[in-house]
Amino acid sequence: GAGVSQSPSNKVTEKGKDVELRCDPISGHTALYWYRQSLGQGLEFLIYFQGNSAPDKSGLPSDRFSAERTGGSVSTLTIQRTQQEDSAVYLCASSNGPGSPLHFGNGTRLTVT
Amino acid sequence: GESVGLHLPTLSVQEGDNSIINCAYSNSASDYFIWYKQESGKGPQFIIDIRSNMDKRQGQRVTVLLNKTVKHLSLQIAATQPGDSAVYFCAENGRGSSNTGKLIFGQGTTLQVKP
């Protein structure tokens, strides 16, 4: 597609449930990123995929968070046993690699009740 | 440690005036810097970037200035318009030429344009 697409745009879930967030990057982009943005805050890095290399998971806040990127394209961010502090906007971005601008989707707003 | 910060959380300017948004960074190994604009309910939108071998780069109505001596980055918007109202984030790559492409973001400055 023309831009990064994320789904769903909004997700409300109960505490303790698992959620999956999807990201379709820009076609041909080799790098894919997940960031988290709490209300009124900056962007917190979560995880980064570059080609076939092992992902940089250094930003994942706990082992409840995981992500995969299938076939070098679509990515899914999974949060298990959600907690209220997980409520935030989860942003996905893709790029042509290091030193190239990241292009962001509009995010998934996650609310944990 | 690595940190990127902005000097002011909110900047209010009159329509037609020039705006200057400032950013400080702490990692001297950073060699790529970028500015984003984020409107309510949307993802950050790329504005302009600059590499460390430059000290100035111009785009359409925007200019980015980089001062590596004092680790300072600024975004200048000429003839600010109501559509420029948004939150502006600076970001750095944090690790120099061998970086992984990960960007470290500042907290953001809200630009308010008064008609």
Range of the domain at B62: 4-114
* Residue corresponding to tokens 């697409």: A5
**Contact (CB, 8 A) for A67 and A74:** no
Q: What SS3 class is residue B37?
A: strand
What pLDDT score was predicted for residue B9? 87
> Could you give phi then psi for residue A85, rounded to 5 degrees?
-70, -10
> Which CATH class for the A5-112 domain?
mainly beta
- A41 CB near a chain B CB, below 8 Å? yes
Shortest Cα–Cα distance, A54 to chain B (Å): 11
d(CA A74, CA A100): 19
Q: How far apart are CA B113 and CA A46, in angstroms?
A: 33
Phi, psi angles (nearest 5°) of residue A70: -90, 130
Report the domain count for chain B: 1
Please give chain A's pLDDT, 113 residues, in tens: 579 999 999 999 999 999 999 999 999 999 999 999 998 788 999 999 998 888 999 999 999 999 999 887 999 999 999 999 999 999 999 998 877 889 999 999 999 99
Can you tell me the distance from the alpha carbon of A103 to that of A41, in angstroms, rounded to the nearest whole number?
Answer: 19
Give the 3-state DSSP-derived string for A22-89, with helices as H, strands as E and coil as C.
EEECCCCCCEEEEEEECCCCCEEEEEEEECCCCCECCCCCCCCEEEEEHHHCCEEEEECCCCHHHCEE
Conformational region of residue A64, where left means phi above 0, alpha means psi within -120 to 50, and beta covers everything else? alpha
Contacts of A4 in chain B (CB under 8 A): 43
B44/A43 Cβ within 8 A: yes
| Among chain A residues, CA nearest to B106 | A42
pLDDT in tens, A62-77: 999 999 998 879 999 9
Size of interface A-B (CB pairs under 8 A): 61
Q: Is A74 on the interface with B (CB under 8 A)?
A: no
Q: Is B14 on the interface with A (CB under 8 A)?
A: no
Per-domain residue ranges of chain A: 5-112
Residue B70 is part of a domain; what is its CATH number? Answer: 2.60.40.10
Query: Is residue B45 within 8 angstroms of chain A, CB to CB?
Result: yes
Q: Which residues in chain B are closer than 8 Å to A43, comparing Cβ atoms?
A: 44, 89, 91, 105
The predicted structure's pLDDT at residue A42: 85
B36, B43, B102 member nearest A48 (Cβ): B102
pLDDT tens-digit readout, B71-100: 999 999 999 999 999 999 999 987 654 456
